[in-house]
Amino acid sequence: EPKISGQRGAFIVIEGLDRAGKTTQVKRLCDKLYSQGHNIKTLRFPDRTSPIGKMIDSYLQSKAEMDDHVIHLLFSANRWEKAKWIVETLRQGYTIVCDRYYYSGMVYSAAKYNPTLSLDWARAPDVGLPRPDVVVFLNLEPEEAEKRGGYGDEKYEKKEMQQRVRELFLGLLKSPGSESDMQVVNAGESVEIVGDRILEKIEAKLKELAAESSRAGIV
């Protein structure tokens, strides 16, 4: 049941490399926040269920070829499809926990080093999306990722690409924009420890939020 106190929900994003344990941690976090009395909805990008999401899925599985700019814009469109839902759901008092957002969008596309696809170009189509209240980046050393049994078969799940993606993610933390608000958690620890660290970051932010104005911003 939506809260009737008038307090909006928080928009929480979990980011990271492939194999950093995002999906596991999103699930744990939702269970924990729910047990604390929050109303929770989850979201993941890409959302492969919509027509655009199905095109993205075909691309990731190498069943369809696409120009780097085209697939980038589809990933962005896939977020815009959900923008209104995000705003309304937060307003109803639900806290949203989201597996990847536009940060992944920027860094995976920019990691291709296509000369006409810069980080700035990649960011542009996402400007105006609902802005997260907290972003946690699960950082994983490349050696640790290797130990986790290598990558899957989808596009981008290659060592060199992951290394570039990681560098770009870490670069975002130093950027002057809203990306520098990202909280970093070392994903190389056990599931329990990583979960506790994530919760610490989020609880601190939720407290701040409760004290502040309740209007959500935009990217």
Q: Which residues bind ligand NYM (CB under 6 A)?
A: 18, 45-46, 60, 75, 100, 104-105, 108, 154, 156
**C-beta of 1: minimal distance to ligand NYM in Å?**
30
**Cα–Cα distance, 63 to 54 (Å, whole number):** 11
Q: Which of 8, 82 has the CB closer to ligand NYM?
A: 82
**C-beta of 16: minimal distance to ligand NYM in Å?**
9
**Cα–Cα distance, 144 to 131 (Å, whole number):** 31
Cis peptide before 46 (omega within 30 of 0): yes
**C-beta of 151: minimal distance to ligand NYM in Å?**
9
**Cβ 101 vs Cβ 172: under 8 Å:** no
How many helices (H) and strands (E) are present in the chain, helices listed first?
8, 5
Q: Which of 84, 158 has the CB closer to ligand NYM?
A: 158
Q: Which of 39, 50 has the CB closer to ligand NYM?
A: 50
**Cα–Cα distance, 56 to 152 (Å, whole number):** 16
**Cα–Cα distance, 14 to 20 (Å, whole number):** 10
Task: Kindly state the helix (H) or strand (E) to which residue 56 belongs, with its residue range.
Answer: helix 51-60
**Cα–Cα distance, 39 to 47 (Å, whole number):** 21
Q: Which of 123, 205 has the CB closer to ligand NYM?
A: 123
Of 98, 115, 125, 107, give the one whose Cα is nearest residue 164.
107
Q: Which of 154, 208 has the CB closer to ligand NYM?
A: 154
**C-beta of 110: minimal distance to ligand NYM in Å?**
10
**C-beta of 153: minimal distance to ligand NYM in Å?**
11
